[in-house]
Structures are given as structure tokens and as C-alpha cells.
Structure 1
């Protein structure tokens, strides 16, 4: 009976020490987490009319390299800055303009978010939720030859305004090494822009485009 009590005590102590060790290894205040991966931007778009009452534009999806850095403000709260290499999207007509390539644009989507890390998963699994502000900068707008031909002139430009909106996210880190993790994350980003079609130096039409993409990223995270 004494040996059984000693064994039971040793087991309880061992479990307690193991639990304390797991808790100690979780993301902690002062940690910095660098995440890098492939990011896919899938627009959930709609637009105002371009020339008539039954036309509009669509924005194609794009994939690129995304990366973020999170500084743990406390054991449960972090501040993240998300960035990426430029994404390039094709813009096409729809409705009565279906089949007409409009052009293309590149954009950079820096996003700053506060993240919440619930106390679950120990050190093997770290889910988190975030809410922040996105700034999207459009540049290198190009007009398609097809649009120039349809308008009967080569003097055609496309200009997209920058956007500021809310971004929400959910993600998780899965441990694969001492401070290495596989990371997955999903964002919904409020991106709205006014696209000006400029013909012979004058704005021919302005199209209000709600891009509002879902963004998914899969990659690796390093904690230090």
C-alpha cells in the first residue's frame, strides 16, 4: 500500500511538472513570431456599372508570398503586422462586357491587427483570432490592348484609389520543432476602390469596385 501511494504521488507530481512545462513553452509575453508562407487572395467582388446598366468588372485571384511579425504583448494578446510581396490581379469585364479584358493592377496590403491567443493546446497547438486595419495601395495599373481597341484609342489609362478597411482573421500554429511551427491563417479584408478609366486625358468613367477578398496563407512560423 505504501509503495502504491508513493507511485501515485510520483505520478501526480510528474503530471503536474509536465503540465507546467507545457504551459511554460506556450507563446509568452515578449516572444516574437515570424510567419512566412504562400498567400492566396480570392476576391469576393462586385462593382458599379462601367458604360451601361448591365455591365461591370471582376477582379481575378492571385497568389504570392506573404509574411507577418507578431509581438506578444502579454501571454494572450499579440500585435501583428502583415505584409506581402506585390500581388498582381487581372481585371475583366462582366455582363455586357463579358469576355473583354480591362487591364491589370498590382497591390500591397499591409495590415496591422491585435490578436487574441486563448489558453488551449499547450505548446503543440496555438489558435488565435485577430481584428485590425488594412491599407491597400494599388500601383502599376495597365490597360489591355482589347480595351484600347474597343475605345478606338491608345491613350487610355487606368487608375485605382488606395483603400482603408477592417480586416478579421483566424489562424493557428502547429509545433514541429522547439521553436518551429506550421502556420495557417485566413483573413477577410474590406477593400474598396474607385477605378478611373482615363481616355485622351479625361476621366471617361469611374467604377466603384468592392473587392473584399478572402485571403488564405499556409507556411511556417519561427518563435524567438
Structure 2
């Protein structure tokens, strides 16, 4: 009987040691899970600059296309966070994961004013060509978080402030839009520039430093495992650019639209504490 009681006491102590929640100074917590990204974007109208030459007699040096805009789809990805507690309350976090891929949709007609617009025009809103493109977004985030409550609290809300450097790769256009730009812009402009022949179309998106704000909470499942939920806002801006070039590489035209990508990220993560 004494042996059984001793074993029971040891088991209770062991379970208590395993389940006592704590996130304290020096702890490293690694979290992974699902992040859902919802851009709350707005964009400027598309502005096109034309290479000086004969073509500018028809279009002018540059022109705006009223009614044009770009939008970005929602997306989800696998997120990962490494969190180091500098004190019992202040933590340093590095957020990353699998870079998210977005679809880009277009609206409106890119065309110079007047009769020239009948000759040089691309319909960004054509349903057969949408989405008009795609891009992969890389947004590593460095953040300082303040965790409320005591280290042994089961439930700990937190706030965070940080920054991100965002850049884009795999920026591409749909086949339909690419062909329309080549046929309806590239070919006439190349002839006007005295450079007949095949033209090329290349898209790009600019990088950006941006502030990051976060509000979240963690719930300790036991001494090692926890759940974390957070809502994060990234104040991103990016210029989307399409360049049309002649066969010899001469730039014939450049169309640009500025995107204000006020992006919200909602995440649900499970964490392990390397105490």
C-alpha cells in the first residue's frame, strides 16, 4: 500500500510538472500552422508612358486610363514563427513560412484618349483573361511582442509591433493579356519606332519596407504545447509595372499602377516551448 501511495504521489508530481504552463525569460517557442491573408487593397489608375518618337504624336508622352484598377485575391499558406522571450513579458518574434501566391485581377480599358484608343487598347477586365496575372509574396516579419499576465498564466494576450521587407517573385501574366499587349500595343508601337518584329512583355512588382501591427493571444495546453491566434496588419505598398520592348530590347512603353496593400493576416498556430 505504501508503495502504491508513493507511486501515486510521484505520478501526480510528474503530471503537475508536465502540465504547469509557463512562458518565461529565456524560453524559445516555435509555432506553426495556418495563416489566411486578406489584402484590403486599393489601386491607382494605370498610367502609361510611351517612348519618345513617332508614336507620341498619336498618344502623347504619357496618358492615364480612367476606370482601370488592379485587385489581389485572398490566399492561405503555412506559417512559422520563432519566438524568444527576452523577459517574462517581452518577446522577440521572427515570422515566416511558405511565401503566399496571389492572383491579380484587372478592371477597365488601357487606352490613350481619342481615336488612337481604337487602335491601341487592352481590356484588363476581359473575363476570358482574368485573373490577368499572379505573384508570390515574401514578407518576413521581425516583431517585438509584449505578453500580458504572469509567465505561469494559462491565457496570455499580447500586442506586437514590428516591420517587414516585402518582395515579389514569380510575377507573371496570363497568356491572353500577354498576347493582347503584344498585338494591340507592342506591334503598333514597334512599327512607329521603326523597329518592326516580335515584341516582348515583362511584368514586375516593387519591394517595400512596411510597419506591422499584431494583436493575439496564446493558450497553454501544458508545459510545452500551446495554441496561438493572432490578427496582424501589414501596411504594404507596391508598384505594378508592365514593360513592352522591341525585338532589340528597346523599351517601347511602360504601364504602371500603384497598389496600397493594407494586408490582414489571421493565423491559428500550435507552438512548442523549448525551455
- TM-score class normalised by the smaller sequence: 0.7 to 0.9
Q: Distance in 1 between matches of 2:225 and 2:212?
A: 26
SS at match of 2:243: strand
Which has the higher mean CA deviation after the structures are superposed, 148-157 or 65-74? 148-157
SS at match of 2:179: helix
Structure of higher RCO (CA pairs closer than 8 Å, 6+ residues apart):
2
SS at match of 1:213: strand
SS at match of 2:180: helix
For these two proteins, the number of residue pairs brought into alignment is 202
Contact kept, 8 Å, 1:157 with 1:197, in 2: the verdict is yes
- For the pair 1:41 / 2:71, whether they are aligned, the reply is no
The runs of 5 or more residues in structure 1 that have no matched partner are 1-20
SS at match of 2:239: strand
Q: Residue 30 of structure 1 corresponds to which residue in structure 2?
A: 26
SS at match of 2:177: helix
Q: Residue 5 of structure 1 corresponds to which residue in structure 2?
A: none
Q: Return the match for 2:261 from 197, 211, 218.
A: 211
Q: Residue 107 of structure 1 corresponds to which residue in structure 2?
A: 137
Q: Residue 13 of structure 1 corresponds to which residue in structure 2?
A: none
1:82–1:64 CA distance, 2 compared to 1 (3 A): same
Q: Distance in 2 between matches of 1:95 and 1:211?
A: 20
Contact kept, 8 Å, 2:22 with 2:223, in 1: the verdict is no
Q: Distance in 2 between matches of 1:178 and 1:118?
A: 18
SS at match of 1:45: strand
Q: Distance in 2 between matches of 1:182 and 1:139?
A: 32
SS at match of 1:196: strand
Query: What is the CA deviation profile of residues 31-87 of structure 1, one whole-angstrom value per residue up to 9, with x for unaligned ones?
Result: 111110111111000111125111100011111111111111111101111111111
Q: Residue 50 of structure 1 corresponds to which residue in structure 2?
A: 46
Contact kept, 8 Å, 2:30 with 2:83, in 1: the verdict is yes
SS at match of 2:26: coil
Give the TM-score, by structure 2 length.
Answer: 0.69
Q: Return the match for 2:165 from 126, 135, 138.
A: 135
Q: Distance in 1 between matches of 2:102 and 2:220?
A: 34
Structure showing greater Rg: 2
Give the TM-score, by structure 1 length.
Answer: 0.84
* CA deviation after TM superposition for structure 1 residue 150, in Å: 2.3
Q: Return the match for 2:204 from 159, 179, 193.
A: 159
Query: What is the CA deviation profile of residues 115-159 of structure 1, one whole-angstrom value per residue up to 9, with x for unaligned ones?
Result: 001126943112111000011110111111121132226721111
SS at match of 1:27: coil
Q: Return the match for 1:71 from 55, 62, 84.
A: 84
Q: Distance in 1 between matches of 2:219 and 2:232?
A: 18
Q: Distance in 2 between matches of 1:219 and 1:40?
A: 11
Q: Which portions of structure 1, spanning 4 or more consecutive aligned residues, are displaced by more than 4 angstroms?
A: none
RMSD: 1.9
Which has the higher mean CA deviation after the structures are superposed, 117-126 or 191-200? 117-126
